[in-house]
Amino acid sequence: MVATAATSAFFPAASPSPSPNTGSKGSKIGATNLGVPKSKSGSGSLRVKANAQAPPKINGTSVGLASSVEGMKSGDDMPSSHSHPRTFINQLPDWSMLLAAITTIFLAAEKQWMMLDWKPKRPDMLMDSFDLGRIVQDGLVFRQNFSIRSYEIGADRTASIETLMNHLQETALNHVKSAGLLGDGFGSTPEMTKKNLIWVVTKMQVVIDRYPTWGDVVQVDTWVSASGKNGMRRDWVIRDSGTGAILTRASSVWVMMNKLTRRLSKMPEEVRGEIEPYFWNFDPVVEEDGRKLTKLDDKTADFVRTGLTPRWSDLDINQHVNNVKYIGWILESAPLPILESHELSSLTLEYRRECGRDSVLRSLTTVSDAGVGDLGTPGGVECQHLLQLENGGEIVRGRTEWRPKFANNLGSVGELPAEST
């Protein structure tokens, strides 16, 4: 169709030749269509047809071809219609214009084809960062890729623990959504929504083998399984999308709470019927840490940070503080020498109660090793944590383990990297 339009634009249809008169009169020049007077071949005078239609008038003024009739030249002055006969050669178009039209059409078609056929050439291109995830492993595992952004890294140029925790939470919600179980709530199923139930986490264990850096693309896998009669366990594995190496493992336990009464609830059979088909009977990726978490107070804590208050942006759609925010508050009381010389290698949290937007909290930390801050210390550091309300109510108990920085890049722990020569 494009070719036909281009051809018709440059090869106009030939108009019919004027018909010669059989009498002594000259040939007609559009007399039938335009009402133009015909000229006599043997005379220089101008004769007008007797039956010519009078020119139309608008508001008393003549319009049309009247002025043309008065100024029409005699037949002797008009060019002969047979002096330049029409041939194929003199009907050819301007070839430069035709070539330009063909080139434009070709470039437009090529551009459209490239847009339809575009694919990322490398697995670490920006396209992967917009991956919405997919179901794998016979519909039991959800997988999603994330690109580490510049605003998600810390002073060490690696992703922060909050960034990794946000990736875990995002894949969990996208898993529920992709399975068609997302109701009107933060991960709640349709039956949970009918019964005003929401999920709350009671325990979280995270092990970080290596932190990704800016520009890395990580692959997060997550799945769920049963935990007791009324709970659900969710596991995650974070890998380097390029090498497949495991970077982080995490395991958590979730129970249900009534969002109106704010009390824990048993799992209704209707809800169990919704989620059981997605359970994968797989061992936890993080071995259960059965050690009891110590309760701290002002006397046993080495470091205390007070006056912590949630901002509006810290609340989720269930109107309580997001779980990831607790980790940042816990680390607020961690001593600076640990943050400078060590990196977080494992994290265990036990959630005791929720925190509202009007709460004021205190963060307490005690360190099990007095040699904190010595980069050459050949061992890790363990800390106990407590996040509590000002009135003494416990929010979260926690335990963190720290390893010396550069430990993953060296043969022996604590050894400084050699200068390049």
Q: Is 355 a catalytic residue?
A: yes
Question: For residue 299, what pLDDT is reported?
Answer: 92
First to last CA, the chain: 67
Residue 182: the pLDDT is 81
- Which residues of 241-341 form beta strands (DSSP E)? 246-258, 264-265, 303-308
Asked if 192 and 176 touch (Cβ cutoff 8 Å), the reply is no
pLDDT of amino acid 100:
80
* Beta-carbon contacts of residue 25 (< 8 Å; ≥ 6 apart): 38, 40, 41
Name the packing angle between helices 2-10 and 95-116 (round to 10°): 170
Predicted confidence at residue 369, as pLDDT, reads: 60
Residue corresponding to tokens 């998600």: 152
pLDDT of residue 76: 47
Separation in Å, CA 98 to CA 2, 11, 19, 101? 13, 10, 33, 5
Report the alpha-carbon distance of residue 168 to residue 164 in Å, rounded: 6
Q: What pLDDT does residue 37 have?
A: 43
Cα-Cα-Cα-Cα dihedral of 108, 111, 117, 123, to 10°? -170
Note the pTM of the prediction, 2 decimals: 0.66
Catalytic site residue 281? no
**Amino acid 81: pLDDT:** 46
Q: Which of 267, 196, 263 is nearest to 226 (CA)?
A: 267
- 167, 174, 175, 320: the catalytic one is 320
C-alpha separations of 189 from 66, 107, 196, 319 in Å: 84, 51, 10, 18
Q: Which of 342, 355, 383, 385 is catalytic?
A: 355
For the chain, which domains are there?
124-288 (3.10.129.10), 289-406 (3.10.129.10)
Q: Is the dihedral of CA 62, 64, 65, 71 positive or negative?
A: positive
Q: Annotated catalytic residue: which of 166, 196, 230, 318?
A: 318
Report yes or no: 214 and 157 within 8 Å, Cβ to Cβ.
yes
- Mean pLDDT, consecutive 10-residue segments, the chain of 421 residues? 47 47 42 42 43 51 47 46 57 70 83 58 42 86 96 92 96 90 79 92 96 96 94 97 96 94 93 94 91 92 94 84 90 92 95 90 86 54 95 94 76 37 34
Quote the tokens at residue 241.
């999308």
